Amino acid sequence: MAFLKKANAMVVHPRISGRGWGGIRKVASAGSSRNLTDQAKEILGQPLHSDTHLVTHCTIVASVDTDSMPNAKLGNIKVGSKTINRKWADYLIKPECSQFVNNNGDSWSREVLRMAYPTFIGAHNFQEHVQIEEQSKGRIIDAVARDIGDSLYIDILVATDRKNAVLVQDIESGKMATLSMGCTTDFTICSKCGHYAVDETELCDHIRYAKLNTFMDDSGQKRVIAELCGHQSYDENPEAPGGVRFIEASWVAVPAFPGAVMRNVLSPGEVSDEQVRRVLASPPPQWSESAIAKAAKIQVPSSSYRKAFFDEGGEEGGAESAPATPSKPFQDVEDEVYESLKKRVKERLRSDLAGAEEPGAVMEPNDNIIRESSDRSFYLKSLDTMTRVASSKQSFVEGLRRTNETFGIVIPDRLYRVAARLGPIHHHSSAREYQKSCLGLNPTITPAELRVVVRLGTLLSRWDSNNNPN
């Protein structure tokens, strides 16, 4: 039984043309050698044309590099009181690659992505992951791999059929602003202990309870706990190279993973080929070391949003070859578009969220810190999203902490730890018993801090009710 994995990419700009894709192909380290026109016609059953399809380019997945565990024993190994099944020794994610683990705690090695990314080509484009072929909205007509040094980026070209008029209108207006890829993996590997699991019942405790946490390895290096999907030596499934198969890309209304980002708007003649090359050689902002884009966090608009327009230089024309090493994020193009883009993003977010119903009670510091109603609504929407998409109690608490930091809400880490240990408030016989348990864990907690922990417990209850309705 395979795992199903998802990862989202946020749209930056809806105006799209497909002819600039040749430039992206040219700078890619790997991609289809077929003529794109012929390839698209074969997949779509008709010629690709802007009158019939909305063409979207997205950088959707990034790879990690791994280290081998020194003197690792393979097979069934006793670790403490648990027995793990370790098939390979190269399961430690390099510290500098932690930023490329997605917000669900999933990751793909460079070798696996290089093997598996072609399975994107020809896959369907759905809406909200409703994988019924009759309800397909279009197809993925091409995919390329770009080695930028620190990581291997996978770019996909999605053609959404304009017969889906409402969807296309929502995409072009920015209302539908997120693409989400779906893939299956025959197994996953724990990046802390190397345990091999083929389904949820076989997961080790690290993956069950500590995904996205960090640990110190035997050499003193800080590393992240994540699931590695597949392995390059696995060849038992021809349809899933390395154990991974990418099966679809969906338009989704609410992002679960803003770690990937829509890189480009393919539109004619607005920047030079040199600028295109420099854009593609730089990491998306959510994958940079300075970005704050971890579990279930939604960023407020800032200068980290970047875009680029591609010349329509013909199918195989466009950008120059990528440099051997990635350049730093550029300044000139950003300066040109930042102010207008920031205004449009803010207006779109406030318009979309203006009528949102505020979900439940939130933490006490909010009234002092989030003064504008639009910002407050945006924050509350972020909390509501997390209660629906966080994969575990730990990832929910961590996502909540990061979201609060983003909005300037400072809560001591020890209060998050207390709330995580206590769990959802409705798991206790009463609110009073919850408070007593809190005081038992931390007798020095102040009344104000106790109220904050109760708020955290209430949010945990909402998360638990959404994800464990029974």
Domain ranges in the chain are 3-339, 366-467
- What are the angstrom distances between the C-alpha of 355 and each of 10, 122, 373, 374, 381? 22, 38, 11, 10, 11
Give the tens place of pLDDT for each residue, 120-164: 999 999 988 888 888 999 999 999 998 988 899 998 899 999 999
User: CB neighbours of 68 closer than 8 A, spacing ≥ 6?
Assistant: 89, 90, 91, 92
Give percent of the chain above pLDDT 70: 70
CA–CA gap between residue 201 and residue 203 (Å, rounded): 6
Cα–Cα distance measured from residue 128 to residue 466, given in angstroms and rounded to the nearest whole number? 18
Using CA atoms, how far apart are residues 269 and 317, in angstroms rounded to an integer? 13
pLDDT of residue 304: 27
Positions of the chain with pLDDT lower than 50, given as ranges? 11-16, 255-273, 275-276, 279, 283-337, 355-374
Q: Are 221 and 95 in contact (CB under 8 A)?
A: yes
Residue 9 is predicted with a pLDDT of 60
pTM (2 decimals)? 0.57
* pLDDT at residue number 376: 64
Q: What are phi and psi of 11, to 5 degrees?
A: -75, 130
Compute the C-alpha angle 369/375/378, nearest 5°. Answer: 120
- Report helix angle 413-422 to 393-406, nearest 10: 150
Strand pairing report for 53-62 and 66-67: unpaired
CA 249 – CA 255 distance, rounded (Å): 13
Cα–Cα distance for residue pair 42/40, rounded to 1 Å:
5
Instruction: State pLDDT tens for residues 200-236.
Output: 899 999 999 999 999 999 889 999 999 999 999 999 9
Query: With the CA atoms of 429, 388, 296 and 437 taken in that order, what torsion angle do they form, in degrees rounded to the nearest 10?
Result: 0
Structure tokens at 215: 């640990």
C-alpha 194/C-alpha 88 separation (Å) is 7
CB atoms < 10 A from the CB of 371, how many? 9
Classify the C-alpha dihedral 30-35-39-40 as positive or negative: positive
* CB within 8 Å of 225: residues ≥ 6 apart: 105, 190, 191, 192, 206, 207, 210, 211, 212, 213, 214, 215
- How far is the C-alpha of 434 from the C-alpha of 432, rounded, in Å? 5
